[in-house]
Structure 1
Amino acid sequence: MTKGRSSTAAARARLLATAVFLGAATVSAPFLTPAFAQSFSFSNVVVEGNVRVDPATILSYAGISRGEEVSAAALNDAYQRIANSGLFETVEVVPQGSTLIIRVAEFPIVNIINFEGNRRLKDEELAALVQSQARRVYSPSTAESDAAAIAELYRVQGRMAATVTPKIIRRTDNRVDLVFEVTEGRVVEIERLSFVGNRAFSDRRLRQVLETKQAGFLRTFIRRDTFVAERLELDKKVLTDFYLSRGYIDFQVLDAGAEVSRERDATFVTFTVREGLPYSIGNVTTVSEIEGVDAAEFADVQRIRTGQTYTPLLIDNNITRMENLALKKGLNFVRIEPRITRNDRGQMVNVEFAIVRGERVFVERIDIEGNATTLDQVIRRQFRTVEGDPFNPREIRQSAERIRALGFFSDAQVNAEPGSGPDQVVVNVDVEEQPTGSLSFGLTYSVNSGTGVNVAFSEANFLGRGQRLGLSLNVGTDNQNSSFNFTEPALLGRDLSFSVGAYYRTSDNQNASYDTRNIGFTTGIGFPLGELSNLDLRFRLSEDKISNYDGDSPILIAESDRGALRTVSLGYNYEYDTRVSGLNPNGGILLRFGQDFAGLGGDTEYIETTALALAETRILNEEVTLRAVFEGGAITSLGGNISRVTERYFGNSKIRGFEANGIGPRDLGAADQDALGGNMFAVARFEADFPLGLPEEYGITGGAFLDIGSVWSLDNTAGIGTVDDSFIPRATVGFSVFWTTPIGPLRFNFSHALKKEDYDKEQSFDLTISTQF
């Protein structure tokens, strides 16, 4: 093999020889012809060695005409122009009397392009990077650039020691094979991620904030533990946001540096920070500098009070409320200007909201680029501003955040530029799309339902319309579950979601002496009621059937004899959640309340009411999370109907420490003593999540819990003395291990029942996929 740079070295040698020849001619010329020593004149120009390139093209690069007097420097310039054209491997410019000979050797044609030594990256991935092409002229500079691009791709994936060398293999007919020899090297992982200058928060807590992670024993699966220099800028930003949201207004990242080990197989990343002190809100005032605008009206819509932790988000949210009020009142070009004064002694920030007149600037147009799949309308509806509206920089920034929150784009930049006039601006949206769909095949496992096979398809941006589509099929040892769901998030272009779904479920489990079949169709709409609240309206048409009951419980015999029952219901669900978009970064609350009214048709008639209240907070430098959950439900039968076992509650997953169908009313007089479920349930769960002292990158934390609750109440116990459906509380305590793995967050529960009934079925160990409320 011959390196691609060898031809360039030969060309430079010939250039040096030509320059020496021309210099010698220049030096000796004064002794021969003093009057004309510095110039040449050629009556003939001959081009030799060219095969594909036309002689006229070469002469055009040379720029020398017959009979024209040229100097030695001009000849050198002609050589440089021909050599720099990138068409020739070697160039010689040789004066011979009145004839100028231009002798060239054309670069060869690339026959094929190969990659050798690459194992981690496929040939197709590397081929997409290179600019060199088969059946095109070989260019050493392009090959070097391609090698650098391949090495950069390896560097981004953490292989900083990777080297790529372009080489050529000479073939006949002036052809070459271009080969990129790759030495991948080892992944350069982050061996230690540390902080200097942090006092309020531990290294462990700050590592949870960063996108970059330390390498642990899951290093085979975790891609974020490889060192990527560009990721440090994102880490600096999220670290700054973390401190600012907690009142540290003077926080700075002084330095974010990385050192590579001598063996170049590990990186040590250190963030040097200056925390400062936390500040809270002091005096809050509102003033108006616009005649006729009452500041008191704007003060009434504020949600800020003295003593709150100062955060930029708190200020922005209140500015947004006041600017929205101005729009409702028809006040255009009104801006809310926050004026901050510090009281360093009291660690307080006094805020004055000034209502001022803004510049008269309009949005001329909104240009969107980079969206090959996503429709323009999906991006445009994230803007509250349209062409012709007054320009509001804050609204544009919030629109950019909404676009990024869609999850459709790996990058989204929104910038405003001057328009066609001084009072016009153009909003440019530049996005880079990313995959939004997934097709998964896998195995599932549950202590209660055994193993199963799962096939699922999901698409978050169906046909580029921002719609969500999901299909799933789960076949287990004891049950089958298939479902379909579709959601349109912006029905009729409004902030109104529309959903439709269907399901088919069957069960044949060991926890009951009967089989069930559930078929259903659901649809609904949802819309926000406020910044933190949402309301969903739903409709359900379903058919539930109990079959193959082989027990002797009079209650279950009567219910199975009724066959398949159809249910038609309307319902609603209200939710208020401050955990994500609220102003307290250390916690929040979640409230849910819903009802379903069955009886508009079909065979059942009842009202089902459910409620949930959750509160959580972080303590001990935010390393421990405390959580309390109160949940309950009630089914009230109407019109002389009685509830069936397919409708009632069993407390499954509500109270830990018991098997599925392990608590609640039970017919003790029956041989199988199957659980009957209850029309009511209530539970209180108290949890604490905390670190176990293991490295954070392992993704393993611990938890403790206390569950207290009960399932009770039946409609059809008359004359059956062996059933006790009264309120009987159960209580369990336990310890949990949370493990964040590539297949999902696993939760291992070890529990012990403090209070139970003799017929309850305990479960001291449980493995589940951890879920969120």
Structure 2
Amino acid sequence: MKAGSRLLNAVSAVALSAGVVASGAGVITLASASVAEAAVIQRVDVRGAERVGATAVRDNITIKPGKSFSPSDIDSSVKQLYATGYFSDVHISVSGSTLVISVKENQLINAVVFNGNRKIKDDKLQGLVQTHSAGPYNEATVQADIKTIKDAYASIGRNDVQVTTQTAQVGQGRLNVAFVINEGDRTKIDKINFSGNQAYGSGRLASVISTKKSNFLSFLTRKDVYSPDRQQADQDALRQFYYNHGYADFRIVSADATLNEQSNEYTLNFNVDEGPRYTYGDINVVSTVDGVNADELKGLVITQKGSVYSAKDIQTSIENISKRVASAGYPFARITPRGNRDLTGHTIGVEYLVDQGERAYVERIEIRGNTRTRDYVIRREFDLNEGDAFNQEMITRAKRRLDALGYFTKVDISTAQGSSPDRVVVIVNVEDQPTGSFGIGAGYAVGNNGGLLLEASVEEKNFLGRGQYIRVAAGAGTEGNRTYNISFTEPYFLGYRLAAGFDIFKNQTSSDDFYDYSEEGFSLRVTAPITENLATTLRYNYKRLTYDGTNDWQNNLSAPYLNLVNNGPWTQSTVSQTFTYNTLDDQNLPREGLIAKFTHEFAGLGGDSNFYKLSGKARYYQMISDEADIIGSLTVGAGYVMPTDGKLNVFDQFTLGGREIRGFENAGIGPRSSHGDPLGGTTYFTASAEASMPMPGVPQDIGLRVAAFADAGTLYGNKANLFGDTLNNDSSLRASLGAGLIWSSPFGVIRVDYAVPVAKESYDKVQNFRFGIANQF
């Protein structure tokens, strides 16, 4: 009996001494720190929870009636109640068998507004902050939101933004919260300095990184916005550049950014150590996997002894071997490059070891960070799915594809241990970027078919986050020129890697004195990849052509064009197939690589045209001088068309002019009627050589380059019905020399060329000056 009384007294003492006081700042003080035994309460009394309600308070504590608890349970209950954000003060004590919880409620937020913001809209800021209407006011949350807003402004180049808050009581325990924003001036980048570089000039290295010095167009390009993530990406770009150009020992000694608070400008500094330039030594393939013949894999290796070392070529060789081995039934085979570095001769021998890797499977692929692009758009760039054998080369290939999409500012792929040792979780972290654009283009050509043409376009590369491409454009100009175009592409048609789409167009002109010309139609297309660099496109094309005579046209048109006016409108219905091979290192400003296209087309599926047409074009880029950033290119093209039912129409034949041989009008060379009308030809050949370099005296960040070029070509042959008209048809070579100015502007690549024909015929039409949007192909 005495023992039982002693136990009851001890429990009572514990219960009475277990009071806890918690201040508004969250500091917890135990009334008695000597409590070592558990206690039990029978009921919970909640005081002060007028809006939240007693039930919500009871649900957010760990102490339950009838169950023992300790001071640590009181501590966690206090923290849990504060974590709800609804209370500014919490006090928990024990009175007999009752747990007393006294709370002081935070005020509720009636409305949240943003004042002074122009560069970032309200809806975007509202999505960033945690302070929302109908929620509790919490000072810690507000301060965190202030930092979030500042970070958002820093990401668009406004580091000196000032953010404060104002509150206004509206009664009944509610208040309005206003974030007052002083956006300040844009934080610019004044200088980008490189030190330690010997092989490449600072201008060349500046073209490698994505961050650019501020200039008069930076408010459009946003390339002068500093962030630690972007600087890290720039370091990675520099490493890849050097590794791919032979500098295997390259390292970045230091990289820093200094902000001048008075001028609100950054200075970026990159200190590099290039090391020596290496070439490849002996190349070999070794296999330890039964059934895999190393000799048969050597043909897949693109690294060659004596060539300049390139990490990209090694990676491509690994992927080639990996695909071949996996397709042969060895999904777990691992390809490891082993380098043998000769520091004296500056060579690196590479041995590709094919061995049996660990058996691992993909447990799941986690997509993180995408706020706009849908998960399936990212997943479909992987050649593996959940449950497949894990293959690191497929992961590398997927990252390259995701980077090439242009949807993201950052793509990071990492792996984590799955639920068992043979399971791998693939984690994909991305950061969406804007993919829509509005462009205004201009072109001008002199001559009979010339005049000014302005075009406005709206383009979206990731429509609704689905990865679809859509473009709408309209143009108007002098001489009655009008153009209308709509294009749409679904890159994964029916879930397959097939890019299906359509184009609708209408073009009309009154540039000729004696007739108006218009064409309208559509095309349906589907593109399928054959390899990483080779693809084929199947296309159906329908076109309606109209020639309308103007005043006095009957006395001034040659017989072929009289026929076109009198017997029109005309239609073409064709099918075509194009093979495209593309190894360019950059689609906007290529420095190395080859792009080639070959097309064959058949007309005769109804309509007025019956022919079979072959055409092709190839352009090869090569650096002439890495240090001076001089890019050379060679282009060749050819075409031939033959009738399949007697004669060709004039519009079935090829035309050739200033687009291929600068210094001439469009359709400025080749067969002509006695009236001087272009008739086109059945056969053409073209060739061009060009070299470009940054414009001297102008910062490379502006994007201005100068070019010198030489063009040559010929167009001849005629199988059109001339109705007795005479023909100027000379197959002699035409050639021109010229210079150009290229500007990679925020609106697109704008180009101005001036060319002088050095070989021509008397009936050719000359046009020395051309201005318009440049086309790489």
Q: Which residue of 2 aligns with 1:447?
A: 445
The answer to whether the 8 A contact 1:284-1:351 is kept is yes
Give the alignment of 1:338-737 within 5 angstroms. 338-368=337-367, 377-431=376-430, 433-434=432-433, 436=435, 440=438, 442=440, 444-447=442-445, 450-451=451-452, 454=455, 456-461=457-462, 466-477=467-478, 478-510=480-512, 513-548=514-549, 550=553, 551-580=556-585, 587-622=592-627, 623-645=629-651, 647-667=653-673, 669-670=674-675, 673-693=676-696, 694-715=698-719, 723-737=727-741
Query: What secondary structure is seen at the aligned counterpart in 2 of 1:149?
Result: helix
1:578-617 deviations in Å (ceiling 9; x for gaps):
32399xx952233322222223543322222212132221
- How far residue 148 of structure 1 moved from its aligned partner, in angstroms, is 1.4
The answer to whether the 8 A contact 2:440-2:747 is kept is no
Alignment partner of 1:162 is 2:165: no
In structure 1, distance between residues paired with 2:720 and 2:57: 102
- How far residue 268 of structure 1 moved from its aligned partner, in angstroms, is 0.8
Pick the aligned partner of 2:758 from 754, 757, 760.
Answer: 754
- How far residue 172 of structure 1 moved from its aligned partner, in angstroms, is 4.8
Cα 1:321–1:389 change in 2 (3 A) is same
Larger CA deviation: 406-415 vs 151-160: 406-415
Query: What secondary structure is seen at the aligned counterpart in 1 of 2:542?
Result: strand
Q: Which amino acid aligns with 2:304?
A: R
1:402-459 deviations in Å (ceiling 9; x for gaps):
2343334454443333333332333344555555555x47574433554556564544
In structure 2, distance between residues paired with 1:273 and 1:288: 38
The answer to whether the 8 A contact 1:643-1:679 is kept is no
In structure 2, distance between residues paired with 1:229 and 1:468: 31
Query: What secondary structure is seen at the aligned counterpart in 1 of 2:325?
Result: helix
Cα 1:339–1:176 change in 2 (3 A) is same
The answer to whether the 8 A contact 2:670-2:730 is kept is no
Larger CA deviation: 312-321 vs 418-427: 418-427
The answer to whether the 8 A contact 2:559-2:723 is kept is no
The answer to whether the 8 A contact 1:163-1:184 is kept is yes
Q: Which amino acid aligns with 1:649?
A: T
Query: What secondary structure is seen at the aligned counterpart in 2 of 1:747?
Result: strand
In structure 2, distance between residues paired with 1:703 and 1:117: 47
In structure 2, distance between residues paired with 1:323 and 1:61: 55
- How far residue 703 of structure 1 moved from its aligned partner, in angstroms, is 1.1
Count of residues in Structure 1 that have an aligned counterpart in Structure 2: 726
- How far residue 331 of structure 1 moved from its aligned partner, in angstroms, is 2.9
Q: Which residue of 1 aligns with 2:9?
A: none
Pick the aligned partner of 1:766 from 767, 770, 774.
Answer: 770
Give the alignment of 1:230-269 within 5 angstroms. 230-269=229-268
Larger CA deviation: 142-151 vs 284-293: 284-293
Query: What secondary structure is seen at the aligned counterpart in 2 of 1:287?
Result: strand
In structure 1, distance between residues paired with 2:166 and 2:441: 47
Pick the aligned partner of 2:748 from 744, 747, 751.
Answer: 744
* TM-score, normalising length: structure 2: 0.82
Query: What secondary structure is seen at the aligned counterpart in 2 of 1:213?
Result: coil
Cα 1:201–1:416 change in 2 (3 A) is same
The answer to whether the 8 A contact 1:281-1:305 is kept is yes
Query: What secondary structure is seen at the aligned counterpart in 2 of 1:595?
Result: strand
In structure 1, distance between residues paired with 2:349 and 2:563: 70
- How far residue 84 of structure 1 moved from its aligned partner, in angstroms, is 9.4
- How far residue 686 of structure 1 moved from its aligned partner, in angstroms, is 1.7
Q: Which amino acid aligns with 1:203?
A: S
Query: What secondary structure is seen at the aligned counterpart in 1 of 2:154?
Result: helix
In structure 2, distance between residues paired with 1:600 and 1:250: 61
- How far residue 526 of structure 1 moved from its aligned partner, in angstroms, is 3.2
Query: What secondary structure is seen at the aligned counterpart in 2 of 1:420?
Result: coil
1:683-737 deviations in Å (ceiling 9; x for gaps):
2222111112211122212111222223333335879686321124333222211
The answer to whether the 8 A contact 2:647-2:721 is kept is no
Alignment partner of 1:124 is 2:128: no
Cα 1:114–1:330 change in 2 (3 A) is closer
- How far residue 306 of structure 1 moved from its aligned partner, in angstroms, is 0.5
Q: Which amino acid aligns with 1:447?
A: A
The answer to whether the 8 A contact 1:703-1:735 is kept is yes
Q: Which amino acid aligns with 1:152?
A: D
The answer to whether the 8 A contact 2:326-2:332 is kept is no
Q: Which amino acid aligns with 1:193?
A: I
Cα 1:579–1:360 change in 2 (3 A) is same
In structure 2, distance between residues paired with 1:300 and 1:437: 43
The answer to whether the 8 A contact 2:442-2:773 is kept is no
- How far residue 79 of structure 1 moved from its aligned partner, in angstroms, is 11
The answer to whether the 8 A contact 1:366-1:429 is kept is yes
The answer to whether the 8 A contact 1:157-1:228 is kept is no
The answer to whether the 8 A contact 1:637-1:643 is kept is no
Q: Which amino acid aligns with 2:574?
A: S
Give the alignment of 1:261-300 within 5 angstroms. 261-300=260-299
Larger CA deviation: 122-131 vs 695-704: 122-131
Q: Which amino acid aligns with 2:191?
A: R
Query: What secondary structure is seen at the aligned counterpart in 1 of 2:323?
Result: helix
Q: Which residue of 1 aligns with 2:34?
A: none
Cα 1:742–1:287 change in 2 (3 A) is closer
The answer to whether the 8 A contact 1:166-1:181 is kept is yes
The answer to whether the 8 A contact 1:659-1:762 is kept is yes
Q: Which residue of 2 aligns with 1:321?
A: 320
In structure 1, distance between residues paired with 2:498 and 2:224: 40
The answer to whether the 8 A contact 2:209-2:234 is kept is yes
The answer to whether the 8 A contact 1:651-1:681 is kept is no
1:633-672 deviations in Å (ceiling 9; x for gaps):
23323432133146441424112123334333333x43xx
Query: What secondary structure is seen at the aligned counterpart in 2 of 1:220?
Result: helix
| Structure 1, unpaired ranges of 5+ | 1-10, 23-45, 65-74, 95-100
Cα 1:79–1:606 change in 2 (3 A) is closer
In structure 1, distance between residues paired with 2:79 and 2:176: 27
- How far residue 767 of structure 1 moved from its aligned partner, in angstroms, is 1.4
- How far residue 249 of structure 1 moved from its aligned partner, in angstroms, is 0.8
Cα 1:566–1:76 change in 2 (3 A) is closer
- How far residue 553 of structure 1 moved from its aligned partner, in angstroms, is 1.7
The answer to whether the 8 A contact 2:647-2:720 is kept is no
Query: What secondary structure is seen at the aligned counterpart in 1 of 2:314?
Result: helix
Root mean square deviation, CA, Å: 4.3
* TM-score, normalising length: structure 1: 0.82
In structure 2, distance between residues paired with 1:347 and 1:428: 38
Larger CA deviation: 184-193 vs 135-144: 135-144
Give the alignment of 1:180-195 within 5 angstroms. 180-195=179-194
Q: Which residue of 1 aligns with 2:67?
A: none
In structure 1, distance between residues paired with 2:766 and 2:435: 42
Cα 1:429–1:183 change in 2 (3 A) is closer
In structure 1, distance between residues paired with 2:523 and 2:467: 21
The answer to whether the 8 A contact 2:85-2:137 is kept is no
In structure 2, distance between residues paired with 1:630 and 1:507: 30
Q: Which amino acid aligns with 1:674?
A: D
The answer to whether the 8 A contact 1:481-1:506 is kept is yes
Cα 1:761–1:421 change in 2 (3 A) is same
The answer to whether the 8 A contact 1:527-1:536 is kept is yes
The answer to whether the 8 A contact 1:649-1:680 is kept is no
In structure 2, distance between residues paired with 1:119 and 1:462: 26
Alignment partner of 1:205 is 2:204: yes
In structure 2, distance between residues paired with 1:521 and 1:383: 33
In structure 1, distance between residues paired with 2:88 and 2:363: 53
